[in-house]
Amino acid sequence: MKYCPNCNQPNDDATAFCVSCGTPFTQAGSAPPPQGYAPPPQGYAPPPQGYAPPPPPPQGYAQPPQGYPPQQQGYTPPQGYAPPPQGYAQPPQVYAPQNQGYTPPPQYGRVPNNGYVGVRRSGITVILLSIITCGIYMYWWWYQCMEDINKASGEERIKSMGLLIGSIFCPPIIYYMLYTVDKNLSRLSSENGTYYKENFLFWLLMTIVCGIGSLIAIFQISKAFTEIWDMREGVQPQSY
């Protein structure tokens, strides 16, 4: 075994020219490879004729970390660009595009405005007409309140006719009617972006103590309906 004096490639002793670079052997045998020389790995192919090694990187250049994706062919980084520091890892992709045909869920706590706007009735007017008609107008007003809730919500939330007839022939049902209107009016106000606090227990207490619970209920319910109709017509309610 002899080594080429030009490229240190090992060759057979009978070879006249180096199999790697073609340098002729002028004498039998060649100098042994330099200390620390290691033969090329299996499958190594010599570079083509005219090959020149690439220039060394500029001073201070840091090689990108292992696994860093190379830039596309023809890409020119902007002026002043510096490669990411060693150990830099791309952040995980968080955003996921929506599926085709995806429809976002409706806003919670809101119902679409079906265009229904009831009649605004003053609490004082309701009380005066109820006194003049000996209470007949009050029953009709309660029925209209229940119908307004059903029409504004787009569904039958209160059995208005059944509660009206029941309260006429069985007066204790009036309290259940008050409770039902109060609870559903609070729900309707929340769905339309206004505020109304349930007041049934307060009305019941004022009825037991001084007998004016129903009058207070008329004022508060009339005011709540007015705010709902204003909101549906684009009028912002007063701040609390």
Highest mean pLDDT of the ranges 36-40, 59-63, 93-97, 199-203:
199-203
pLDDT digits (tens, 9 = 90+) for 48-60: 777 777 777 777 7
Highest mean pLDDT of the ranges 30-34, 70-74, 112-116, 153-157:
153-157
pTM of the model: 0.52
Query: How would residue 115 be classed by pLDDT, with cut points 50, 70 and 90?
Result: confident
Q: Following DSSP, what letter does each residue of the chain receive, concatenated?
A: -EE-TTT--EE-TT-SB-TTT--B--SSS-PPPPTT--PPPTT--PPPTT--PPPPPPTT--PPPTTPPPPPTT--PPTT--PPPTT--PPPP---PPPTT--PPPPTT-----S-------HHHHHHHHHHTTTHHHHHHHHHHHHHHHHHHTS--S-HHHHHHHHHH-TTHHHHHHHHHHHHHHHHHHHTT------HHHHHHHHHHHS-HHHHHHHHHHHHHHHHHHHHTTPPPPP-
For residue 108, the model assigns a pLDDT of 41
Query: How would residue 234 be classed by pLDDT, with cut points 50, 70 and 90?
Result: confident
